[in-house]
């Protein structure tokens, strides 16, 4: 039995879902961050509960060939990255194995998982910077599971331009009223930049805009006033101080507008790969049904290729953006946006498309799909179902219901030894959208039997 604050040696046998090492010591399974499989390590037990414990890495006694020196000086303190201590091949394997284990253990699905699609840029890939500013002007990122700012002057996974933002905001915050600045949020869009300074009350941001102008030529600047006691970054009070507040761009032949609140994947290269993979599965002269469709980017791409596409999205602002996207791209007769909960509208769309060749695309939030939606998809008879997920656990659950390996009994899901389903699993492919972190996007494709 392990005791709290005790020091122990052990062998790292595998990984937990957060990338922490799994070590078995005296019948206790210990989860310790920043370890690599195969290493012998010295750890300190921080919390012990029965046969489960959580520890801190004190020393690597026998390092793995896959261990590398982290690039970032605050790695392990900042909550942004999880895997900088692993080489990139080990990171890709960790993500593939994480998807495979979730399918097995949660979904009861025993199928091959393709190799993780790598990102050519393991660092400097992010097109979006969200930088909290402390009461005393300190600048950095939050520590894991807290709102304590870990100060830094750069970030290895941000694009190079981020260092210029750090410097400009640091100087501006030093002269601004204490505690007024909350965040600076920056989005790069094809070489142009959207800045949003979040403050508790209106301030003179001209010095910051002037400073940024020394480094950035084509940019727009907005002031967001958020005086609420909340963790939500933006409030609804906006002022445009430079430019139009948005930029126009184009992807896969679709023109769109993006502002400070527009959702776009943070990795341009991997977003292109993921969307292209989805479109490769779509067929012409079919009806595409895009569930949890957001601002309509993928819906528009599907409408252009398939000839007809429906998007269902509950967020009003996102649905309005989808309508603007539809008109701007001449898709009024091909793209149909519905604002509302997916579970309340999916049946109507399925009925309307009955008899057509159909492809269903689902990109739900991290919690996955509502069970009623998964059941409706399973019963729809659609020719193909594509799931895009940032959470292997909820992906495995939803796939299990679709494939019949999970069945509901008394309100609970249980594994089924003899599954029955209209669908077969064609492929499962992780995409490394977020190098150096534990997260990935996974694309799963099902076809009708």
Output the pLDDT for position 182: 97
Q: Of 250, 278, 302, which residue sits at a domain end?
A: 250
Residue 198 and residue 278 in one domain: no
**229 and 311 within one domain:** no
Report the CATH number at residue 107. Answer: 3.40.50.150
Measured over the CA atoms of residue 207, residue 208, residue 212 and residue 213, the dihedral's sign is negative
Q: What is the pLDDT of residue 111?
A: 95
Residue 83 lies inside a defined structural domain of this protein:
no
Domain containing 162: what range?
Answer: 128-250
Same domain, 420 and 291: yes
Give the model confidence (pLDDT) of 106-131 as tens digits: 999 999 999 999 999 999 999 999 99
pLDDT of residue 1: 83
Look at residue 212 in the predicted model and tell me its pLDDT: 98
| pLDDT for the residue numbered 262 | 84
Within this chain, do residues 426 and 316 fall inside the same structural domain, yes or no? yes
- Under a CB-based contact definition with an 8 Å cutoff, are residues 42 and 9 in contact? yes
60 belongs to a structural domain: yes
| Contact indicator for 271, 298 with CB cutoff of 8 Å | no
Residue in 155, 390, 416, 440 annotated catalytic? 390
Strands 307-313, 286-291: pairing kind: parallel
Q: What are phi and psi of 24, to 5 degrees?
A: -105, 120
Does residue 342 lie in a domain region? Answer: yes
CA dist., res. 103 & res. 111, Å (int): 8
Q: How many structural domains is the chain composed of?
A: 3
CB-based contact 10:40 (threshold 8 Å): yes
* Residues 112, 425: Cα–Cα separation, whole Å: 10
Residue 179 has pLDDT above 90, yes or no: yes
Distance CA 100, CA 108 (A): 11
Between the two ends of the chain, the Cα-to-Cα distance in Å is 52
DSSP state of 215: T
Q: Are residues 153 and 45 in the same domain?
A: no
Query: DSSP secondary structure string, 112-143?
Result: --PPPBPPS-SSS-BSEEEEEB-TTS-BEEEB
Whether residue 141 has pLDDT greater than 90 = yes
Render pLDDT for 206-258 as a digit per residue (tens, 0 to 9): 999 999 999 999 999 999 999 999 889 999 999 999 999 999 899 889 999 88
What would the mean pLDDT of 45-56 be, rounded to a whole number?
96
Q: Distance between CA 304 and CA 258 in Å, rounded?
A: 20
How many of the other CB atoms lie within 10 Å of CB of 41? 24
Query: Does one domain contain both 303 and 379?
Result: yes
The reply to whether 156 falls in a domain is yes
Q: Is 205 helix (H, G, I), strand (E, B) or coil?
A: coil
Query: Taking every pair of C-alpha atoms in the chain, what is the biggest distance, in angstroms?
Result: 68
Regarding whether 24 and 99 lie in a shared domain, the answer is no
Q: What are phi and psi of 427, to 5 degrees?
A: -160, 155
Whole-number pLDDT of residue 316? 87
Whether residue 63 is found in the same domain as residue 99: no
Q: How far is CA 304 from CA 297, 350, 356, in A?
A: 11, 20, 17
Residue 2 within any structural domain of the chain: no
Is 436 a member of any domain?
A: yes
240 Cβ partners below 8 Å, 6+ apart? 220, 221, 222
Query: So what's the pLDDT on residue 184?
Result: 97
Same domain, 444 and 352: yes
What is the average pLDDT across 355-374?
96
Say whether both 289 and 433 belong to one domain: yes
Asked if residues 90 and 36 have their Cβ atoms less than 8 Å apart, the reply is yes
pLDDT (mean) for 16-33 = 96
Instruction: Give the confidence band of 263 by pLDDT, cuts at 50, 70, 90.
Output: confident
Could you say which of 250, 275, 300 is where a domain stops? 250
Do both 387 and 353 map to the same domain? yes
206 within some domain: yes
- Apex CA 435: angle with CA 111 and CA 157, to 5°? 170
Coil, strand, or helix at residue 438?
coil
Q: Is residue 85 domain-resident? A: no
From 28, 47, 67, give the residue that closes a domain: 67
Report the CATH number that the domain containing residue 208 is assigned in CATH. Answer: 2.40.50.1070
CB atoms within 10 A of CB 164: 16
Same domain, 199 and 218: yes
In this predicted structure, what is the pLDDT of residue 261? 86
Nearest 5 degrees, angle CA 389-CA 33-CA 394? 20
390 is catalytic: yes
User: Which residues neighbour 221 within 8 Å (Cβ) at sequence distance 6 or greater?
Assistant: 195, 196, 197, 205, 209, 212, 240, 241, 242, 243
176 DSSP 8-state letter: S
234 token code pair: 């933006």
> Which domain CATH number covers 59?
2.40.50.140
Torsion angle of the four alpha carbons 36, 37, 41, 46, in this order, in degrees rounded to the nearest 10: 80
């Amino acid at each position: 039995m392990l005791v709290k604050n005790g020091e122990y040696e052990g062998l790292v046998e595998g990984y937990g879902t957060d990338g922490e090492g799994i070590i078995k010591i005296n019948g206790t399974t210990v989860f310790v961050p920043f370890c690599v499989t195969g290493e012998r390590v010295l750890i300190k037990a921080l919390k012990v509960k029965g046969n489960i414990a959580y520890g801190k890495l004190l020393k690597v006694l026998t390092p793995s060939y896959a261990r590398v020196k982290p690039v970032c000086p605050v790695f392990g303190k900042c909550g942004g990255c999880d895997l900088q201590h692993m080489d990139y091949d080990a990171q890709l394997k960790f993500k593939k194995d994480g998807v495979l284990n979730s399918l097995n253990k949660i979904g009861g699905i025993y199928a091959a998982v393709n190799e993780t699609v790598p990102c050519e840029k393991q660092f400097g890939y992010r097109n979006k910077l969200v930088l909290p500013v402390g009461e005393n002007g300190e600048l950095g990122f939050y520590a894991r599971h807290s709102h304590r700012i870990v100060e830094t002057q750069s970030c290895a996974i941000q694009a190079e331009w981020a260092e210029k933002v750090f410097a400009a905001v640091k100087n501006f915050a030093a002269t601004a009223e204490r505690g007024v600045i909350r965040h600076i949020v920056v989005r790069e869009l094809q070489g142009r930049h959207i800045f949003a300074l979040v403050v508790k009350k209106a301030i003179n941001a001209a010095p910051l805009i002037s400073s940024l102008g020394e480094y950035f030529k084509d940019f727009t600047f907005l002031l967001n006033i958020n005086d609420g006691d909340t963790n939500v970054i933006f409030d609804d009070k906006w002022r445009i101080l430079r430019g139009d507040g948005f930029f126009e761009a184009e992807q896969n032949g679709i023109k769109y507008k993006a502002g400070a609140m527009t959702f776009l994947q943070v990795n341009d290269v991997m977003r292109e790969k993921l969307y292209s993979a989805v479109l490769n599965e779509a067929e012409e002269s079919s009806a595409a049904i895009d569930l949890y469709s957001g601002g309509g980017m993928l819906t528009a791409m599907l409408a252009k290729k398939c000839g007809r596409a429906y998007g269902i999205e509950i967020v009003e602002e996102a649905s309005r953006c989808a309508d603007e996207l539809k008109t701007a791209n001449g898709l009024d007769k091909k793209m149909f946006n519905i604002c509302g909960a997916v579970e309340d509208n999916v049946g109507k769309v399925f009925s309307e498309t009955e008899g057509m060749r159909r492809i269903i695309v689902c990109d739900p939030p991290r919690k996955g799909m509502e069970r009623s939606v998964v059941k409706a998809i399973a019963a729809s008879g659609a020719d193909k179902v594509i799931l895009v997920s940032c959470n292997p656990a909820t992906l495995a659950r939803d796939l299990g219901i679709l494939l019949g390996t999970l069945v509901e009994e008394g309100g609970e899901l249980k594994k089924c030894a003899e599954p029955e389903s209209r669908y077969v699993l064609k492929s499962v492919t992780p995409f490394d959208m977020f190098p150096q972190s534990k997260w990935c996007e996974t694309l799963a494709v099902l076809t009708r039997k």
